[in-house]
């Protein structure tokens, strides 16, 4: 009998807000033992108040490789690694871009994920998996998304390479569309509201996503033993319009 994620240990790096928190909550409600990690202790403590009893929270700076190595040594054996870390989006034109800021953005989202997989994979039990996070900008870039498009293209290629290199550990990536999370806080309230409204009007589903919508894709990829190297789009049909 398939017990889903019950009794499995899941590490969610970036699991204290948005999609990561939704993944952690959904997995915990299925009976998984969840460990969430984030850079700030206050974020970890706030997340634990929202998660079922028994969830564990640790601080982790994903851009510090020594800290990442020590983190996984502390966690020990587990079944699934989910990486959703990233505090904000970076949307700026090439002419206005700041290379140092762009590097910091990629340090967390790309190299942080790379480091987490490098040091986490040796602790993943048989039948386990890695689920990373990308976005539609790699395949549908728009003006002002040069850094995001670079990140998304890299994450999808990294996923396919890791699926081969780490086999039989499965490695997949989820590609969310526009989702109501704090990632958009860099926009003014007016601009954010306008973005959500225009996106909802354009999408076949008629609305923007919620973190819980996207979390289901991560759970599917953790449960499903026959998917690896896959990109799963959860964008309300955004790639179609």
CATH number at residue 144: 3.40.50.720
Query: Is residue 121 situated within a structural domain?
Result: yes
- For 129, the enclosing helix (H) or strand (E) is strand 124-133
Query: Is residue 62 situated within a structural domain?
Result: yes
SS3 162: helix
Query: Is residue 2 situated within a structural domain?
Result: no
Q: Say how far apart CA 16 and CA 50 lie, in whole Å.
A: 9
Report the pLDDT value the prediction gives residue 3, as an integer from 0 to 100. 63
The domain tally of the chain equals 1
Query: Is residue 4 situated within a structural domain?
Result: no
Centroid of chain to Cα 65 = 18
Report the pLDDT value the prediction gives residue 1, as an integer from 0 to 100. 42
Q: Which residue range is the domain that position 147 belongs to?
A: 9-230
Query: Is residue 235 situated within a structural domain?
Result: no
Query: Is residue 1 situated within a structural domain?
Result: no
Query: Is residue 96 situated within a structural domain?
Result: yes
> In which residue are the tokens 């997995």 written?
27
CA nearest neighbour of 127 among 96, 170, 89, 97: 170
> In which residue are the tokens 């020990």 written?
76
Low-confidence ranges of the chain (pLDDT < 70): 1-3
Query: Is residue 3 situated within a structural domain?
Result: no
């Amino acid at each position: 009998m398939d017990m889903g994620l019950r009794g499995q240990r899941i590490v969610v790096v970036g699991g204290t807000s948005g999609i990561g928190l939704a993944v952690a909550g959904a997995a915990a409600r299925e009976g998984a033992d969840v460990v969430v990690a984030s850079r700030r202790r206050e974020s970890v403590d706030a997340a634990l108040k929202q998660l079922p009893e028994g969830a564990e929270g640790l601080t982790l700076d994903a851009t510090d490789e020594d800290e990442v190595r020590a983190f996984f040594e502390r966690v020990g054996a587990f079944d699934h690694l989910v990486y959703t870390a990233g505090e904000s989006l970076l949307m700026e034109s090439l002419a206005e871009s700041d290379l140092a800021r762009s590097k910091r953005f990629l340090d967390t989202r790309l190299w942080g994920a790379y480091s987490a997989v490098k040091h986490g994979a040796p602790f993943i039990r048989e039948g386990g998996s890695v689920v990373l996070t990308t976005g539609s900008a790699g395949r549908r870039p728009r003006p002002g998304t040069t850094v995001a498009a670079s990140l998304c293209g890299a994450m999808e290629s990294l996923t396919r390479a890791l699926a081969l290199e780490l086999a039989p550990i499965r490695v997949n990536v989820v590609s969310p569309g526009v989702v109501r999370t704090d990632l958009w806080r860099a926009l003014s309230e007016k601009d954010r509201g306008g973005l959500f409204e225009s996106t909802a009007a354009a999408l076949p589903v008629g609305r923007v996503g919620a973190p819980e919508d996207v979390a289901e894709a991560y759970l599917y990829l953790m449960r499903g033993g026959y998917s690896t190297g896959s990109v799963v789009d959860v964008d309300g049909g955004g790639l179609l319009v």
